[in-house]
């Protein structure tokens, strides 16, 4: 796992200096070594976190034998050994044990199509000197990030990096705020790709590659999608056959992710997914697995007892950490690492569990992705129930009356509150109600919140899209899902939205900020493809989520863990806003800087704070998103890039 960067420009001196700055800003992603290579047009940079082949032979950027193809690579390709054997059979010779060298030869053999053969998590840049072509690619589901910038108005400069703070270390790249992206952020708590918080900087989408050709007219840039998850046709297999197939594929995915030349362990929440991963690791490993868990003093958010039960079942070397409000002292640092507005508060405990884990191991497996493949979230059941109710004559009027009768609550885990939220939007079409369930601010709430200046800078709404661009984007995800069942379509939307832009961003940033590599067996594309084509009733059976997953691995799960409901990785921020964080919240949202920006109507923000503090309403998500947006401005937008790289970043 590493940090990468590169730049295309004919001005070699400034270009190479910019790449050194990028590496300096991403040192945390690769503290073990650094390297830069350049020619007349391209500079590639790399920060190394040594995982496989710890020798100097594994340093990057790395080239083919004649030095005409160079690569900077972040990630792991788990099937590199079989690919290497195939390439050796085709006449290729290798000089290291790294997967990086396999990628170089794979590109030589198969060109851009090589990416379809890789099984793993990756983001890389390959410079083909003979063709004057840059080839960027990102893994199928978006485990590894890749940002790029192209000079506006047909310029001849292009840059890429693993993190936004890497790109922003180049003083040539402007920090111009993209107001439309800010609007999307306040809907979802993240910025959907390809947009970022900045005009001119983009995310390479998951499952896509990009080619840049240096031609006489300038730079020709093209992107292409090479993978998407297909939910059809359904597999016609029995439950027993499905259990056997799933067990085989997930066990292999775990085994492949335990290949490492450095110590490894696992995040353990006590939930179904991480418990299965730990159980499989224990069966594969020849020594006790090291497990790491996070908890809270607030009982409603604390899962430590469930994690301990799994740790005892497998005799793991187990460690725990309790997160308290003073942990928020790390917020400014995390905001800088994210580089764009990001409002998932579970980033805090994720950082702390990564920090604790890194003190003991360099690689950690986790259970990410199990919910999106096996219907683990409550919204999948809700989507299915709502679709059935919508077919009932008179349901819309009935739902409206019931919504008024069912009391709301300030307790986010209250069952009546969940029922109230369900009934309020159950009559809407699938994409619209899903958007309402997962959004921070609804369109009408944003209209009341935004000041005149911000409203004037957003794209105008149309009669076709009266709720605005964020909702139109969500509807498009459902339209291209390629799924016939409501549950499959909702999972597909999550795989295209929440998974790559929230969950995977959180884990990548939190782990790499501590120089820890995170691996996710459930996100193996073969596991995901198998799960997608299973019948829906194998994933959601009645009110039982993850039906087949629980059955296939029942021997690995303590009974109480298998039976309990999903808790989620929540953070008691709402309680903290009424107590130890109230002053910090108000000082941030009502500072003169924040007011001078004129984004929001101060009276609306004040009402949200007062209602929440007085326990008249629960505005946790709204207030947290506003707080993170303000911190992003102060820590990222208004901060200055370094004037020079540190001396330790030297060219190869």
Among all residues, which ones are annotated catalytic? Answer: 2
Q: What backbone torsions phi and psi does residue 259 show, to the nearest 5 degrees?
A: -75, 115
Q: Report the distance separating Cα 219 and Cα 284, nearest Å.
A: 49
Helix, strand or coil for residue 552? helix
DSSP string, 153-167: TT-S-EEEESSHHHH
CA angle 249, 251, 253 (to 5 degrees): 70
Helix, strand or coil for residue 227? coil
Residue with tokens 């100097």: 56
Residue with tokens 């939007």: 425
Where would I find the beta strands (DSSP E) of 456-613? 517-519, 540-541, 544-545
Q: Nearest CA to 306 among 367, 375, 354?
A: 367
Q: Report the distance separating Cα 84 and Cα 106, nearest Å.
A: 9
Q: Residue 46 corresponds to which tokens in the numbers above? A: 């790399």
Residue with tokens 């910025």: 191
Q: Report the distance separating Cα 350 and Cα 568, nearest Å.
A: 13
Q: Nearest CA to 589 among 636, 635, 629?
A: 629
Buried b (16+ CB within 10 A) or exposed e, 65-92: eeeebbbbbbbbbbbbeebbebbeeeeb
Q: Report the distance separating Cα 464 and Cα 214, nearest Å.
A: 40
Give me the helix-helix angle, 239-256 and 525-532, nearest 10°.
170
* CA dist list (Å): 128 to 8, 39, 61, 334, 477: 12, 11, 13, 36, 35
Q: Report the distance separating Cα 209 and Cα 274, nearest Å.
A: 31
For the purposes of burial, counting CB atoms within 10 Å of the CB of 253, is it exposed (0-12), middle (13-18) or buried (19 or more)?
A: buried
Q: Report the distance separating Cα 195 and Cα 180, nearest Å.
A: 9
Q: Residue 471 corresponds to which tokens in the numbers above? A: 């909702």
Q: What backbone torsions phi and psi does residue 339 show, to the nearest 5 degrees?
A: 80, -15
Cβ count within 10 A of residue 375: 29
| Phi and psi based region of residue 107 (left: phi greater than 0; alpha: psi -120 to 50; beta: remaining) | alpha
Distance of CA 572 to the CA centre of its chain: 22
Beta bridge partners of 625: none
Non-local CB neighbours of 627 within 8 Å, separated by 6+ positions: 585, 588, 589
Q: Report the distance separating Cα 420 and Cα 425, nearest Å.
A: 9
How large is the greatest C-alpha to C-alpha distance in the chain, in angstroms?
A: 75
Beta bridge partners of 365: 266, 519
Cβ count within 10 A of residue 238: 8
The answer to whether the CB of 441 falls within 8 A of the CB of 449 is yes
Strand 201-203 with 33-38, pairing:
unpaired
Cβ count within 10 A of residue 617: 15
């Amino acid at each position: 796992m590493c940090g990468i960067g590169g730049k295309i420009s004919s001005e070699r001196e400034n270009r190479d200096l910019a790449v050194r700055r990028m590496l300096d800003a991403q040192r945390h992603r690769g503290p073990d070594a650094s390297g830069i290579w350049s020619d007349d047009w391209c500079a590639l940079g790399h920060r190394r976190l040594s995982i496989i082949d710890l020798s100097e032979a594994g340093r990057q950027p790395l080239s083919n034998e004649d030095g005409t193809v160079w690569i900077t690579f972040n990630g792991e390709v788990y099937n590199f050994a079989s690919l290497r054997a195939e390439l050796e059979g085709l006449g290729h010779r290798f000089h290291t044990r790294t997967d990086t060298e396999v990628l170089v030869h794979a590109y030589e053999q198969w060109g851009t199509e090589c990416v379809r053969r890789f099984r793993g998590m990756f983001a890389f840049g390959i410079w083909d000197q003979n063709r004057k072509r840059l080839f960027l690619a990102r893994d199928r589901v978006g485990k590894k990030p890749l940002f790029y910038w192209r000079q506006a108005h047909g310029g001849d400069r292009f840059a890429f990096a693993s993190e936004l703070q890497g790109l922003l270390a180049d003083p040539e790249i402007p920090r111009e705020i993209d107001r439309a992206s800010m609007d999307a952020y306040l809907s979802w708590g993240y910025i959907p790709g390809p947009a970022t918080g900045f005009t001119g900087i983009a995310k390479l989408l998951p499952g896509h590659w990009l080619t840049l050709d240096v031609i006489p007219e300038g730079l020709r840039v093209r992107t292409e999608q090479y993978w998407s998850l297909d939910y059809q046709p359904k597999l016609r297999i029995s439950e027993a056959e499905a259990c056997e197939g799933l067990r085989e594929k997930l066990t292999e995915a775990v085994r492949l992710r335990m290949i490492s030349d450095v110590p490894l362990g696992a995040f353990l929440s006590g939930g179904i997914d991480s418990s299965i991963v730990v159980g499989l690791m224990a069966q594969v490993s020849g020594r006790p697995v090291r497990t790491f868990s996070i908890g809270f003093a607030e009982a409603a958010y604390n899962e430590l007892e469930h994690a301990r039960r799994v740790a005892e079942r497998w005799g793991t070397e187990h460690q725990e950490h309790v997160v308290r409000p003073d942990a928020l002292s790390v917020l400014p640092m995390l905001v800088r690492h994210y580089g764009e507005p990001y409002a998932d508060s579970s980033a805090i405990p994720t950082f702390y569990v990564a920090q604790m884990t890194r003190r003991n191991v360099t690689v950690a497996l986790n259970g990410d992705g199990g919910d999106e493949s096996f219907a683990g979230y409550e919204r999948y059941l809700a989507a299915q129930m709502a679709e059935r109710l919508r077919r009932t004559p008179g349901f819309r009027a009935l739902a409206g009356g019931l919504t008024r009768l069912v009391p709301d609550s300030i307790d986010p885990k209250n069952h009546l509150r969940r029922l109230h939220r369900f009934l309020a939007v159950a009559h809407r079409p699938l994409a619209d109600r899903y958007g309402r369930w997962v959004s921070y601010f609804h369109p009408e709430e944003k209209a009341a919140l935004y000041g005149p200046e911000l409203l004037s800078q957003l794209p105008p709404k149309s009669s076709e899209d009266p709720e605005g661009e964020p909702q139109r984007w969500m509807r498009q995800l459902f339209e291209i899902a390629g799924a016939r069942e409501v549950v499959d379509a909702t999972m597909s939307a999550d795989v295209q939205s929440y998974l790559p832009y929230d969950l995977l961003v959180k884990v990548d940033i939190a782990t790499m900020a501590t120089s820890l590599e995170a691996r996710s067996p459930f996100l193996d594309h073969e596991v995901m493809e198998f799960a997608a084509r299973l019948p829906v009733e194998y994933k959601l059976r009645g009110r039982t989520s993850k039906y087949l997953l629980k059955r296939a691995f029942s021997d690995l799960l303590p009974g109480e863990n298998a039976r309990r409901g999903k808790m989620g990785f929540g953070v008691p921020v709402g309680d903290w806003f009424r107590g130890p964080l109230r002053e910090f919240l108000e000082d941030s949202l009502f500072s003169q800087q924040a007011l001078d920006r004129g984004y929001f109507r101060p009276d609306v923000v004040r009402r949200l704070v007062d209602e929440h503090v007085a326990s008249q309403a629960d505005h946790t998500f709204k207030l947290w998103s506003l707080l993170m947006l303000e911190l992003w401005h102060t820590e990222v937008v208004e901060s200055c890039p370094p004037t020079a790289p540190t001396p330790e970043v030297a060219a190869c």
